[in-house]
Amino acid sequence: MSTTLLEPEVDDLRKKAKRSRRNEWWLAAVLLAPNLLLLALFTYRPLLDNFRLSFFSWNISSPTSTFIGLDNYIEFFTRADTAQVVLNTVVFTFFAVAGSMFFGLALAMLLDQKLRGRNFVRSMVFAPFVISGAAVGVAFQFVFDPNFGLVQDLLGRLGVDTPNFYQDPNWAMFMVTFTFIWKNLGYSFVIYLAALQGLNRDLAEAAAVDGASAWTRFWRVTLPQLRPTTFFLSITVLLSSVQVFDIIHTMTRGGPLGNGTTTLVYQVYTETFTNYRAGYGATVSTILFLTLLIITAIQVRYMDRGARK
């Protein structure tokens, strides 16, 4: 008898729950719709259009294009300069990511201590990150100028000859990589600093009581706790460094000696807007996008697997 009396109430509760879930879905759809629409129009549509364009030969000054199938992709993998451009991209990205994260962590650990004036120094470290890359590139042109730059003056005082940063491809790559690290160091620094301030201090104190050295505490206690932050930075700094254009354009124009500092992103620009080969530029950008997608997916998968452990 009591079960029969409760059935209408149960049905009523079920209807209310369904109605509540439906209202939540509608609210989510209304709130997400503008963002999804903007993503579709300004991210996914250009991405698909770029992929389509990679199968065409198109001079951006011409209203017509010619379908050529896989010819652009075949050209990319058989061109003589592709290996050099890919190598430039890998070298620049590796040292830019490693340098930004290493020095960012070192500065974060230093400025996480109770030091006089540390807030001012923190601001100075972060300040270059908000400056335009083009402006930083122009400023560092004078820093590395072999005739009257700051580097030339410092090396001259030490009795060391100044390398010709604008004629030697290796030194030119060092120059643009150093400039990128200097500009973007503040980003890694701030992220690591926030992570350090959220660590469990009890573990480090317990290790110190047990007689662990400072290096052991860092390697065995601090660094493992920073693993999620390190993975996050490895992805974001990687994507940022691969896409760098302004610093290279203002400092070296992709040279010296042809492709001395030309990366894949800079090749997209030169092929599209200098050589007027938008189809081939779309091919290079498509290959770069797929490569970054695979690398990011591997990083995220590895991070998830590490988090489960």
Residue 60 covered by a domain? no
Task: Indicate whether 18 and 111 sit together in one domain.
Answer: no
Q: Which residue has the higher pLDDT, 104 or 5?
A: 104
Average pLDDT, the chain: 89
Task: Indicate whether 136 and 175 sit together in one domain.
Answer: yes
CA distances from 43 to 137, 218, 258 (A): 28, 41, 32
Count of structural domains within the chain = 2
**Close Cβ partners of 27 (under 8 Å, ≥ 6 residues apart):** none
Task: Indicate whether 126 and 191 sit together in one domain.
Answer: yes
Burial bucket for residue 121 (CB in 10 Å: 0-12, 13-18, 19+): middle
- Confidence at 50, pLDDT banded by 50, 70, 90: very high
Residue 55 has pLDDT above 50, yes or no: yes
Task: Indicate whether 121 and 220 sit together in one domain.
Answer: yes
Q: What percent of the chain has a predicted confidence (pLDDT) above 90?
A: 57
What pLDDT does 175 receive?
95
Neighbour count for residue 52 (Cβ, 10 Å): 13
Task: Indicate whether 218 and 285 sit together in one domain.
Answer: yes
- Across 40-44, 115-119, 259-263, 301-305, the highest mean pLDDT is recorded for 259-263
Task: Indicate whether 34 and 76 sit together in one domain.
Answer: no
Domain that holds residue 13: 2-53
Task: Indicate whether 47 and 175 sit together in one domain.
Answer: no
Instruction: Tell me the per-residue pLDDT of 161-209, one tens digit each, with 9 for 90 and over.
Output: 889 899 999 999 999 999 999 999 999 999 999 999 888 877 877 888 8
CATH classification of the domain holding 101? 1.10.3720.10
What pLDDT does 299 receive?
81
pTM (2 decimals)? 0.86
**How far apart are the C-alpha atoms of 239 and 149, rounded to whole Å?**
31
Task: Give per-residue burial for 245-267: e unless 16+ CB within 10 Å, then b.
Answer: ebbbbbbbebbbeebbbbbbbbb
Task: Indicate whether 33 and 97 sit together in one domain.
Answer: no
Q: Judge whether 162 and 155 are in contact, CB under 8 Å.
A: yes
**How far apart are the C-alpha atoms of 88 and 177, rounded to whole Å?**
11
- Confidence at 98, pLDDT banded by 50, 70, 90: very high
Q: Which residue has the higher pLDDT, 294 or 210?
A: 294
3-state helix, strand, coil in the chain (%, to 5): 75, 0, 20
Residue 58 covered by a domain? no
**How far apart are the C-alpha atoms of 180 and 101, rounded to whole Å?**
12
Q: Which two tokens stand for residue 278?
A: 């938008």
Residue 282 covered by a domain? yes
What pLDDT does 15 receive?
76
Residue 66 covered by a domain? no
